[in-house]
Structure 1
Amino acid sequence: MAGGSAIRGSRVGSGPMGEVERGEAAPRVWVSYWCANSHEVRPSFARDGEIQIPESWDCPRCGLPAGLDKDNPPAPPRNEPYKTHLAYVKERRSTEDGDALLDEALAALRERRGG
């Protein structure tokens, strides 16, 4: 037989936590946000002197941004594909510039090798 606990399944600090122990909850206001997938998110904010409600909220179901206008939700963010180093070089230089640089580098290499 295990330990001598008079009340099984209880621990220090357990028990109902009602408004008596915590105090009264602040008045709340619920705001609806909609994402591009038509999911509704309803976070609550404390209704104090100045309510600062954000323009957008992240949807917990799909991760897209959600806005206050149900008929016109924010567009999903555009993901840029991964670019290689060569892709970035091609953005900065034309093919003609690349050919000229290659010819210059080959000429310098041939001069060093003595050929």
Structure 2
Amino acid sequence: MGEAERGDTAPRLYVSYFCSSGHETRPAFAADAAVPEMWDCPRCGLPANNDAKNPPPPTKNEPYKTHLAYVKERRSDVEAATILSEALASLRDRRARGEVIY
């Protein structure tokens, strides 16, 4: 089997992308397709562009935030103390009335 049975191959364009680790990637695109400016390096996963002398810097990963960290961003210590005292007062009132609290 070859081109005679399957037809001619579509014209392709090979574009070089360079990451900050020094890897070169050459994916193939259709000749009439829009070529992206950035490409992820398949070896190390860093972003890559067409400029070998100026590859993009590695992306910065944000550390994992806990639920408490997000709450502390939204509430001040005074607000937290107020909410806690209201919640404790509500629980104590429910216990005094004999409600079962899990």
TM-score bracket, normalised by the shorter chain, equals 0.7 to 0.9
Mark the CA change 1:46 to 1:108 in structure 2 (over 3 Å): closer, same or farther. closer
Q: Tell me the alpha carbon deviations over residues 40-86 of structure 1, each in whole angstroms, 9 at most, x when there is no partner.
A: 001122224xx411111121111222111222222333322222211
User: Residue 105 of structure 1: which of 49, 62, 87 is its match?
Assistant: 87
Question: 1:93 and 1:105 mapped to 2: Cα distance?
Answer: 16
User: Residue 31 of structure 2: which of 47, 69, 78 is its match?
Assistant: 47
Work out which of the two has the higher radius of gyration on C-alpha atoms and give 1 or 2. Answer: 1
Question: 2:13 and 2:71 mapped to 1: Cα distance?
Answer: 52
The aligned counterpart of 1:30 is 14
Q: What's the TM-score once normalised by structure 2's chain length?
A: 0.75
Identity in percent: 64
The aligned counterpart of 1:89 is 71
Number of positions where the alignment pairs a residue of Structure 1 with one of Structure 2: 96
Q: What's the TM-score once normalised by structure 1's chain length?
A: 0.68
For 1:18, the aligned partner's letter is G
More helix by share: 2
Mark the CA change 1:71 to 1:110 in structure 2 (over 3 Å): closer, same or farther. same
Could you list the runs of 5+ residues in structure 1 that have no partner in the other structure?
1-16
Question: 1:22 and 1:111 mapped to 2: Cα distance?
Answer: 80
| RMSD after superposition | 2.1
